[in-house]
Amino acid sequence: MKQTAALLMTLALTTSAWAADGLPSTDNRVAIPVSAKERENTLYEMRTLLHGLFNIHTALSRNDMKGVAVAARSMSPLISRIPPSVRDRLPTEFMEMGNALKETWETIARDAEQKQNAPHTQAQLAEVMAYCSGCHDSFQFKVVSGKSRNKR
Binding to ligand HEC by residue 49, rule CB under 6 A?
A: yes
- The amino acid that residue 78 corresponds to is L
CA 26, CA 28: separation in Å to the nearest integer? Answer: 6
Distance of alpha carbon 79 from the chain centroid: 9
CB of 89 to ligand HEC, least distance (A): 12
CB of 26 to ligand HEC, least distance (A): 13
CA 11, CA 7: separation in Å to the nearest integer? Answer: 6
User: Considering CB under 6 A, how many residues would be counted as binding ligand HEC?
Assistant: 18
CA 53, CA 72: separation in Å to the nearest integer? Answer: 8
Per CB under 6 A, the list member of 70, 132, 143, 144 interacting with ligand HEC is: 132
User: Smaller CB distance to ligand HEC: residue 20 or 50?
Assistant: 50
CB of 98 to ligand HEC, least distance (A): 4
Binding to ligand HEC by residue 105, rule CB under 6 A?
A: no
Q: How many residues does the chain have?
A: 152
Q: CB within 8 A of 87, min separation 6: which ones?
A: 95
* CB 5, CB 131: distance < 8 Å: yes
CB of 133 to ligand HEC, least distance (A): 8
User: Smaller CB distance to ligand HEC: residue 34 or 65?
Assistant: 34
Binding interface with ligand HEC (CB under 6 A): 43, 46-47, 49-50, 53, 94, 97-98, 101, 128, 131-132, 135-136, 139-141
